[in-house]
Amino acid sequence: MLNWMADVDTYLQQLNETSEALAGTLVGLEQATRKAASEEIHNQCAKLGSLLRVLQQQLAQREALLIEFPDAADAAPVSLQAALSTVKHSGAVEMVKRCAVISTELQGLHQKAIALFVGQYHLSNMTEEFLRLMSGVSAKPITYDKTDDEAGGSFLDRAA
């Protein structure tokens, strides 16, 4: 059991480091997006991609840890938190708390990444949309393939 606990502790340290690196990369990507620095955006995206590959490897490592859980009767536990909560060891409670903190951080990073993606999606199409609005063309916008919104020059004319 102690070897498994040591492996989980190492895993949590590595996962925390990856989480912190992801947070820093997302901050850098957000700043690069605000500055419209395309080369910096490209570099941050490459860094983000490599960190996501590391995170995928760590998920596989977590699955291996769950399979190796010493007290698993017929089936492995569904999460490290569930496995650790059954362990009668002084360090297990602290590890459960660390799991919860890291999980919350990763959920926040997930939300931030989605928001950043949506923002970049709209920014990438902003010039075309702006020109379409200013040209006086009554074409409908194609964002998200919505066909029920009217925009364009007639939209501005009606607003005036």
pLDDT band at 160 (very low <50, low <70, confident <90, very high): very low
Q: In whole numbers, what is the pLDDT of the chain averaged over residues?
A: 83
| pLDDT above 70 coverage of the chain, percent | 82
- How far apart (Å, rounded) are the C-alpha atoms in residues 27 and 29? 5
Q: Whole-angstrom Cα distance, residue 160 to residue 143? A: 24
Structure-derived torsion over alpha carbons of residues 31, 35, 36, 37, reported in degrees to the nearest 10: -80
What integer pLDDT is reported at residue 35 of this predicted model?
86
Amino acid making up residue 115: A
The tens digit of pLDDT for each residue in 83-132 reads 888 888 888 899 999 999 999 999 999 999 998 888 877 777 777 777 77
Percentage of the chain with pLDDT > 90?
A: 42
What is the structure's pLDDT at 82?
85
Residue with tokens 């590890």: 95
